[in-house]
Structure 1
Amino acid sequence: MRHTVVMTGASRGIGRTAAEHILRRSPDVHLLVVTRGDSGARRAADLSVGGHTVSHVSADLGSLGSVRSAAVEVLGRLDRGGLPPLRGFVGNAGMQYTDALTEGPDGFESTFAINVLANHLFVRLLQDRFVAPARVVITASDTRFGDFRHNMGMVPGPVWKSPEVLARPGAFPGPDTAAAGRTAYSTSKLATIYLVHEYARRFPAGIDSVAYNPGFVPGTGLARNAGPVSRFAMRRILPVMALTPFATGREAAGRYLADVVLGTTEAPTGSYVDRTRATRSSEESYDPQREGELREAAERLTAAYVV
């Protein structure tokens, strides 16, 4: 049966590879890619090669108003019959900044806005249109461990605070430093796991939510806002690490993401999938009180953008 999957972060890196695998392996999918600016038609055309069905909607994920407009457009197309039934949302887009002071147009710190609030607003606006069986997949990260084993010690572990504090610039010590920017990133990725757990509690039967960890994937566009030295290392030096057990190549990470989206990887709702298998996440990522507080805060912070 034909169905729609909405996907952010499909333009490059593991998202682009995952999108290609999803289309190749599931001919019934209408993939709707969320892109920034005027690149959507080109991205959709590239992915459509071979007869696949791909369309696009434009959104700047750093602006909740833009996210709302994109979701409203998707809802309208679903309601008018321009899209087949909605059976998936993939929140793969993510961003890391060189400080914890970058502020988006809504006044939110940009890492938290893109990695947490944009995903939640999309899910919040689309959730009533999901047709079972459906799956929400949010890309997480094992940077939340903050150790050598999981990210070679390059990203500090998360520092959890009230979600209302995390949503605003300057939440971490030395907010103008790269360390604070990386802490904002790992903390936002811990938050995505909390949201997945909350969705699992609240979604009706047949609508699953899963967190996917690709591992350390060098050579992606994640560090595109970093300084020139860091960008060079990510593009030219660290990709060699993909040949070791410490890292995952982009092709493999994208294929694993497609496996989660398509259900090839067994993952009950609320699962944390580490590359190829559902497993237990860090102890800190299981905290019902934090999970509930985060969802309530995300509801408040996005309330002005709900249709």
Structure 2
Amino acid sequence: MNHTIVMTGASRGIGRVAAEHILRRSPDAHLRVVARGSSGARLVAELGAGGHRVSYVAADLGSLESVGSAAIGIRDRLDRGELPPLRGFVGNAGIQYTNALTEGPEGFESTFAVNVLANHLFVRLLRDRFAAPARIVITVSDTHFGDFRHNLGMVPGPVWRSPDVLARTGAFPEPHTTAAGRTAYSTSKLAALCLVHEYARRLPAGIDAVAYNPGFVPGTGLARNADPVSRFAMRRVLPALTLTPFATGRSAAGRCLADVVLGTTRAPTGSYVDRARVARSSRESYDPQREAELWAAAEQFTEAHAVRTDAR
């Protein structure tokens, strides 16, 4: 049956591999990619080669105003029948900064804005347009465990604060440092996982929400804001770790993401999928009170953009 899958983070890394798998293995899918600027047209041309159905909507994921406009544009096309029924959303895009002081246009700390609030606004504005059975997949990270086994000592573990604090710059000690930027990253991924648990409680039956952890995947664009030495290591040195259990190759991680999106990996709503299997996330990630507080805060933070954009 013809259907639409909306996807962020499809232009590079594991997202690009996953998009290619989705289109090849699900010929009935229309992939609606969210891309920044002029890259969308190029991405559509590349992914659409061979007759695959791909289109794009432009958005800057660091701007809630831009995300809201993109989501409403998708809703309008679904309502007009220009896109087949919506059966998937893949929030794969992610960002990591070298500080915890980078601020987006609406005043939110940029790591939190991209990794948490952008996904939430898409889910919020599209939730009434999903046609069951549907699946929401959010890419998270095993850095949320905060131990050496999961982060190899490269990323500090999450430091939870009130959502009002996490959403703003300077939430962590020495916010100008790389360590603070990486702490913002691991904490944002814990937050994304908490929201998946809350979506599983709140979304209608037949609309599943699943968190996907690709593991440590060197060679992607995640370190593009890092210093030159770190970028060199990610590109040239750390890929050797994919020969060990400590890292995942880009191709394998992308294939596993596609498996989750397409349901090849069976995962009930609220699941944490660690590469190719359902697993337990960190003990800290299971906290219903925290999850409810974060959901309420995310609703509050996105309210103005959802209402203003919907009014159009």
* Fold match (TM-score > 0.5): yes
Equivalents in 2 of 1:269, 1:3: separation in Å?
Answer: 20
Q: Which amino acid aligns with 1:99?
A: N
Tell me, yes or no, if the aligned pair for 2:145 and 2:281 is still in contact at 8 Å: no
Q: Which amino acid aligns with 1:18?
A: A
Aligned residue number for residue 19 of structure 2: 19
Q: Deviations over 1:171-228 (max 9, x none)?
A: 0000000000000000000001110000000111100000000000000000101111
Equivalents in 1 of 2:144, 2:199: separation in Å?
Answer: 20
* TM-score normalized by the length of structure 2: 0.98
Aligned residue number for residue 8 of structure 2: 8
Equivalents in 2 of 1:279, 1:244: separation in Å?
Answer: 20
Equivalents in 1 of 2:53, 2:185: separation in Å?
Answer: 33
RMSD between aligned alpha carbons?
0.5
Q: Deviations over 1:141-174 (max 9, x none)?
A: 0011222211211000000000010000000000
Deviation for aligned residue 1:51: 1.0
* TM-score normalized by the length of structure 1: 0.99
Equivalents in 2 of 1:145, 1:272: separation in Å?
Answer: 13
Which 4+ runs in 1 deviate beyond 6 A?
A: none
Unaligned runs of 5+ in 2: none
Aligned residues: 307
Equivalents in 1 of 2:82, 2:155: separation in Å?
Answer: 43
Deviation for aligned residue 1:56: 0.2
Tell me, yes or no, if the aligned pair for 2:97 and 2:178 is still in contact at 8 Å: yes
Tell me, yes or no, if the aligned pair for 2:95 and 2:115 is still in contact at 8 Å: yes
Tell me the SS of whatever aligns to 1:32. Answer: strand
Query: Any residues of structure 2 matched to 1:1-307 within 5 Å, and which?
Result: 1-306=1-306, 307=310
Q: Which amino acid aligns with 1:195?
A: L
Tell me the SS of whatever aligns to 1:87. Answer: strand
Q: Which amino acid aligns with 1:298?
A: A
Unaligned runs of 5+ in 1: none
Deviation for aligned residue 1:78: 0.6
Most deviating of 125-134 and 72-81: 72-81
Identity of aligned residues (%): 79
Equivalents in 1 of 2:211, 2:50: separation in Å?
Answer: 30
Equivalents in 2 of 1:37, 1:166: separation in Å?
Answer: 28
Q: Which amino acid aligns with 2:100?
A: A
Equivalents in 2 of 1:288, 1:127: separation in Å?
Answer: 21
